[in-house]
Structure 1
Amino acid sequence: MDPITRQELLALLQAGTVQLIEALPPDSYAAEHLPGARNAPGPIDAELAARLAPDRQNVVVVYCSGPYCNRSKSTAEAFARLGYHDVRVYTGGKQDWAEAGLAFEGRRTHPADGTAGKEGHHAA
């Protein structure tokens, strides 16, 4: 799987040509996830892949907590095995996103902005 940088991911998000997949447990996803991401907490089969990433023309970008998390790589490999042609891994994951001060969706935001745990608030 080819890696993707935060800048490349932001460009794809802005263009609307990416299907973003978080490869972490449901509680982690519910707490905070990258905007527009869908959750793939475990093994991927053809049915789940089609629900998570129905448009095979778009790039599929998989991420997890950060550079030392391997869940994103194994999930991306599963999408590739199922016939998705442009699958990439955002190795920086949530850690890189937070360090850049970018917004999350979910129950809480990154604690650095002082609003952790406040429903509906997103970092700027």
Structure 2
Amino acid sequence: MRIITREELKNKIECGDNLKLVMTMNQWAYDHMHIPGSLHFNTPHEAVAQLRPDEEIVVYSSTKWCHKSIDTYLVLQSHGFNKLYLYDGGLEAWQDACYPLEGGCSNLSKNR
């Protein structure tokens, strides 16, 4: 399993790298707050159907302890996706660094 750090991910986003960010939390959480440019799929198999195996993909969830991102990573890997990274810090670490967020509650995090 390849891990990407918060700083590496931020750098890739800022450099305009052509990557797909996949947030593995539920729709409500995605609607309220996510890393800019993130995609949401209801299931890992939905991600398999809508992404291409040759794309660079970073999966993440709420925290480093959430298993959903690991589950999605493993499903994608089992379907031949090999340019995968796990951002194990999750949304929590991204937010703690005061990095940009999108969604209905993203402005609230700026006032912490």
Please indicate, yes or no, whether the TM-score normalized by the shorter chain is above 0.5: yes
Match of residue 97 from structure 1: 94
Query: Which of 58, 63, 68 is equivalent to 1:66?
Result: 63
**Larger-gyration structure (1/2):** 1
Answering whether residue 7 of structure 2 is matched by residue 3 of structure 1, we say no
Judging changes above 3 Å, is the alpha-carbon distance between structure 1 residues 78 and 84 closer, same or farther for their aligned structure 2 residues?
Answer: same
Bigger helix fraction = 2
Aligned pairs, number: 111
Q: Alignment identity in percent?
A: 25
**Do 1:33 and 1:105's aligned partners in 2 also have CA atoms closer than 8 Å?**
yes
Aligned-residue RMSD, C-alpha: 1.8
Judging changes above 3 Å, is the alpha-carbon distance between structure 1 residues 89 and 110 closer, same or farther for their aligned structure 2 residues?
Answer: farther
**Do 2:44 and 2:76's aligned partners in 1 also have CA atoms closer than 8 Å?**
no
Counterpart CA distance in 2 for 1:43 and 1:18 is 17
Match of residue 27 from structure 2: 26
Where 1:3 maps in the other structure, the secondary structure is coil
For 1:42-53, list aligned pairs within 5 A. Answer: 42-45=43-46, 48-51=47-50, 53=51
TM-score (norm 2): 0.87
Counterpart CA distance in 2 for 1:112 and 1:37 is 17
State the 1:41 CA deviation. 3.0
Gaps of 5+ in 1: 116-124
Gaps of 5+ in 2: none
TM-score (norm 1): 0.80
Higher RCO (CA < 8 A, seq sep 6+): 2
Match of residue 119 from structure 1: none
**Do 2:2 and 2:85's aligned partners in 1 also have CA atoms closer than 8 Å?**
yes
State the 1:59 CA deviation. 1.5
**Do 1:3 and 1:90's aligned partners in 2 also have CA atoms closer than 8 Å?**
yes
